[in-house]
Amino acid sequence: MNHPDITNINTPEIENINVLDFDPMPSPEEIHARVPLSEKAARTVMQGREALRNILERKDQRLFVVVGPCSIHDPVAGLDYARRLKVLADAVSETLLLVMRVYFEKPRTTTGWKGYINDPDMDDSFHVDQGMEKARQFLHEVAEIGLPAGTEALDPISPQFIGDLIAWTAIGARTTESQTHREISSGLSTPVGFKNGTNGDVGIAINAILSSSRPHSFLGINGQGRTAIVRTRGNRYGHLVLRGGDGRPNYDTVSVQMTEQALAKAGLPPNIVVDCSHANSFKRPDLQPLVMADVVNQVRLGNKSLVGVMIESNLVAGNQPIPDDLTQLKYGCSVTDACVDWESTEKMLRDADKLLREVLPKRNQ
């Protein structure tokens, strides 16, 4: 048998054969220096995190609501939404803690726009360095308005760039089973909501909550952008998000009770959030208000495990494809999943506020 002469092997032909280039990326410290954290923004984030922890620990009787666009693509429209949401947040603050949904990273089944960080210009130019700075700037402005922000942790190094501006984190249905994301969650400074699997399996999320509550050591980057061994203490504020699965909802009373039992069997607190979108509304935004109303009714009837909801909402209802001519984009309309409009959002939350005012103060007694 003839063996190749390994003495003539050129290293570049062995590694990175499918990599075109390594473009330089600013370090987290550099991005932080360009968009420094103001005192008011820091206060918004810290107060938001504390309120969320208090809700999960039953020290605060309110529900939290992660509400906002499926994804951010236009910062002008996004801040327009944030200012409206702040007014509404103050109006319903006795019963609901509103957290603005600020999603910059979108997982894709095959291909498609991956989000504002990955491609801020929406033209496949992939200026990730610019996207990261713009994302941080947007989060800072939302915090300056006085709204805590929630996002999905998808890229494992993004939290080093923007994590100080996040109050709540989601781990999506496609990544809840990922060891990498469980390890990341164990070190995040925010409460973390793990979604059930796309097939509806809540066991995946329960395992993720258990895993992320433990210490981990893994490869990551530090503030200087250097590869580092990240060692975490574990995150004890993991909780479960029901988003439906296999095209079927799982927010009904039977599904919620079965989830409570599964959490109890695992020795975990009964903290459940219902995502009003995705399979729970059959991806029809017009059904999200019905899901929200059902959750509110369950709380009114005595449920004690439901601590929050998620709503995909924008200024304009529905969604739109990304056109070649970006000037043709409809203002305030999603370019990813379809959303309910602002008027529906305001009605959903004001109705919930009215129905829960007399119930929540007695809920934890």
pLDDT tier at 11 (50, 70, 90 boundaries)? low
Q: Is 13 within the bounds of a domain?
A: no
Residue 224 resides in a domain: yes
pLDDT of residue 2: 59
Is position 99 within any domain?
A: yes
pLDDT, residue 233, reads 98
The overall pTM is greater than 0.75: yes
Burial 289-319 (b: 16+ CB within 10 A, else e): bebbebbbebbeeebebbbbbbbbbbbbbeb
133 is in which domain, residue-wise? Answer: 25-336
Q: What is the pLDDT of residues 126-143, one digit of tens each?
A: 999 999 999 999 999 999
Task: Report yes or no on 178 lying in a domain.
Answer: yes
Whether 317 is covered by a domain: the verdict is yes
Q: What percent of the chain has pLDDT over 90?
A: 92
Q: What is the pLDDT of residues 82-113, one digit of tens each?
A: 999 999 999 999 999 999 999 999 876 666 89
Read off the CATH number of the domain in which 153 is found: 3.20.20.70
360 domain-assigned: no
**How far apart, in whole angstroms, are the C-alpha atoms of residue 63 and residue 52?**
9
How far the first Cα of the chain sits from its last, in Å, is 79
Q: Is residue 355 part of a domain?
A: no
Task: Quick: pLDDT tens for 170-225.
Answer: 999 999 999 999 999 999 999 999 999 999 999 999 999 999 999 999 999 999 99
Residue 19 lies inside a defined structural domain of this protein: no
In which element (H, E) is residue 106 found?
Answer: none
Look at residues 60, 57, 137 and name the one whose alpha carbon lies nearest to residue 96. Answer: 60
How many domains are contained in the chain?
1
